[in-house]
Structure 1
Amino acid sequence: MAKWHGKACVEITDAKAEDVWPFLADFCSLNKWFPTLESCIRVEGVNGEPGCVRYCAGFKTHIEHADGNHFNWTKQKLLSIDPENMTFAYSIIDGNVGFNSYVSKVTVLPRADRCAIEWVYEVEPVEGWKLENLDQFISNGLNVMAKRMEEALKTGA
């Protein structure tokens, strides 16, 4: 089956890569950064080490569910992490949002006096979604993450 491939990238103008990387290297803190994500907890392994599994819940997607009690969730497994090159890869191993064979690589890219975060992914086509929906979901999420990280660095949070 053909997979969807996508990439989002956002510049962070007020931070260096080595300041942003620790936010992402903390694999189980995604709820601090990703919009509408209510919880992100470690359920297996050691945080920040390959094999670690996080449970992420409460995020919103473009799909409206008739059942008002619907609660989006995924389990995500850290596949690899390379602090020297400020990159990690993870996969979605379970969930109720239809992301099958989802694998993502997130990298902090150093720039002269700033940095960028790049999020590359592939996934089997998702029922009820178009590739543009997923691109927008990830791009919007990454933009909010960058703003929240910039603010955290400014306030020392």
Structure 2
Amino acid sequence: MAKSVGVLLSLGIALFPPVLAHDSHDRSAQGVMLQTLASGNQLESLGPGVTVQTLTRSDRSWNGALLPPLSATQPEVHVLRMTIPPGVTLKLHKHPVIHAGVLLQGRLRLETKDGATQLLEPGEAVIEVVNNAHRSVSLGPDPAVLIIVFVGPLGQAITLPASH
């Protein structure tokens, strides 16, 4: 984390304290604003023609649950591309770490064990539930293709069976 912060600072970017933000579900949330030190502008000021679009930003998962606090241990980041064929329902599982994804293609329904659902269309981002049994259903007609980023302690499993 310290190395990442050092890289951001060397680029003239600073992480400012939490500010009030709103996620895609219009819920108020605490977030971290990324700004440049020199101008106070957001990332667009890194170069001519650069645009940045926040896909999602929140301290809560899609079902409204507060995300767990980050630990002081060495973090590990996993960036995955997942393809789920049309009509396939993933087995119930859970993730013990914070993660978010963007659906690139297809249609995907997220379902928690208690019945909450969230529908994703291409281009939509989601902050997934943590330590909550859930599954995903690829609704077709195309495969669901996602990019998922997991952040957790070094060496920790990122996916577990729902019964674990």
Using structure 2 for the length normalisation, give the TM-score. Answer: 0.26
> Which of these two proteins has the greater Rg computed from alpha carbons?
2
Structure showing the higher helix proportion among its residues: 1
Structure showing the higher strand proportion among its residues: 2
